[in-house]
Amino acid sequence: MNTDHKPTVIIQAAGKNSRFFPLNTETHKGFISVLGAPIVLRTLKDLEHHGFTKVVMVVSKKDIDGKGLSGVLPEYNLNLDISWVLQPTSEGSGHALLLAKDQVDDYAVVVSPYYGNAGQLAQSLWKTRNKQESECVLMGTQVDNPSLYGMFEFATDDPNRVLGIVEKPTENAPSNYKINSIYLLSKGFFDHLANAPIGEYSLETALTTYAREHYISWIENTEKLPSLKFAWNLFDMMQHFFKSSTTTISPEAVIAETAIIDDSSGPVIIETGARVGDYAKIVGPCFLGKKSFVGEYCFVRGGCSIETGATVGANTEVVRSIILERASVHFGYIADSILGQGVKVGAGLITANKRFDRKNVETMLKGKMIEMPNNAHGVIVGAHTHIGISTRTMPGILIGAQNKIIPGSIIYKNTSHEE
């Protein structure tokens, strides 16, 4: 076998993404644009940089046939052979892989769309396979709470060999290493997976049964892999992207002479066609996308991403927030919040972002109260929702897509069914 020939890369980006409510309706969570580009673009560029050439995107209906990501990705002119496979219904990762089976030659690397260092990780897996001549190579991270994850079981006589995956052990965990969601799999494993029952953990079950007769090795990952489990994880993603950014202001941006651009605390990126009005103040880290608008007397600070075509109208303060494409807001206070694609906000929206007792903010998701990562969370609004004038939202509120919020509302609880 020619070990110089890189394996196919399968990017799994289908499913309902129900835990990503309310930002789960327009496109897959890994395809949302942050700092002016789909998150997956960083993944694809890193794969390209490390010499991977063949990519299979397994997607749902909202990202195929010119819709969603499939409609915008060609404009980035990647030197990759990308094919698209539809997973019509959400039936788990094992089912998604089987849909891509015919696109695989000998081996495939399976990766999430939001791993910006996917090429580096895939290269490490491929080198390990060639060195150890194993059928599959997995990646693991040491954790303190095995009951939350799928945990490796290792061979007692060979610490490099994986014998199986034990899902969320409540006691007597076989190890303290969890499996990461990036794998190198042989074509033989795909044939084995085809005979396994379809279910939520069909991939892990098939790996366990396959390991009984085939050599599966693993490597340790000591870096924190990015997570997009919940919509508010976009804040971490944004801050991560800012760390590798520098101040860049397009000569084709229109910035009023009285506007203040302050990059002393982080980069300020202003793209082509962006406009900044008189007496506005932009404090980095901050991103203003193509054809975005920040009006007179606005204050945008603390880490913000104003995406393509978004509008921040006059007299608005935006703090540590993300305003997605074509969303608009004016005359208000937007803190630690996300406004989805095409959201329209009337004058006077005030987002509360902290509890009186300053404890971590909680929200209701999928019927359970979820504690958010810190004590500052505003509102997250799904795509194409309209919010009337003089609306107030309490901390941690989630508003579903295509809602209508009547003027003068005070939102104390999440609205709309989760999709």
Q: What is the pLDDT of residue 419?
A: 39
Given a cut of 80, whether residue 201 has pLDDT beyond it is: no
Answer with the residue of higher pLDDT: 200 or 338.
338
Q: What is the pLDDT of residue 89?
A: 87
pLDDT band at 290 (very low <50, low <70, confident <90, very high): very high
Q: What is the pLDDT of residue 202?
A: 84
Q: What is the pLDDT of residue 418?
A: 45
Q: Which tokens hold the place of 262? A: 């302050």
Question: By C-alpha distance, which of 118, 160, 99, 158 is closest to 30?
Answer: 118
Structure confidence by residue, pLDDT tens digits, 256-278: 999 999 999 999 999 999 999 99
Given a cut of 60, whether residue 1 has pLDDT beyond it is: no
Percent of the residues in the chain that have a pLDDT greater than 70, as a whole number:
98
pLDDT band at 226 (very low <50, low <70, confident <90, very high): confident
List Cβ neighbours of 157 (8 Å cut-off, separation of 6 or more).
none
Q: What is the pLDDT of residue 372?
A: 94
pLDDT band at 24 (very low <50, low <70, confident <90, very high): very high
**Mean pLDDT score of the chain:** 94
∠ at Cα 405 (399, 407), nearest 5°?
140
Could you tell me which residues are beta bridge partners of residue 293? 275, 311
| Phi, psi of 297, rounded to the nearest 5 degrees | 60, 25
Mean pLDDT of 198-203: 77
Mean pLDDT of 295-302: 97
Q: How far is CA 111 from CA 10, 42, 164, 219, in A?
A: 6, 13, 20, 15
pLDDT band at 417 (very low <50, low <70, confident <90, very high): low
pLDDT band at 322 (very low <50, low <70, confident <90, very high): very high
Question: By C-alpha distance, which of 290, 367, 285 is closest to 319?
Answer: 285
Answer with the residue of higher pLDDT: 198 or 380.
380
Q: What is the pLDDT of residue 4?
A: 59
- What's the pTM? 0.93
pLDDT band at 204 (very low <50, low <70, confident <90, very high): confident
Q: CB neighbours (10 Å) of residue 57?
A: 26
Q: What is the pLDDT of residue 357?
A: 93
Q: What is the pLDDT of residue 2?
A: 45
Given a cut of 90, whether residue 196 has pLDDT beyond it is: no
Q: Where do the domains of the chain lie, and which CATH numbers do they carry?
A: 8-220 (3.90.550.10), 234-411 (2.160.10.10)
Instruction: Return d(Cα 140, Cα 232) in angstroms, integer.
Output: 25
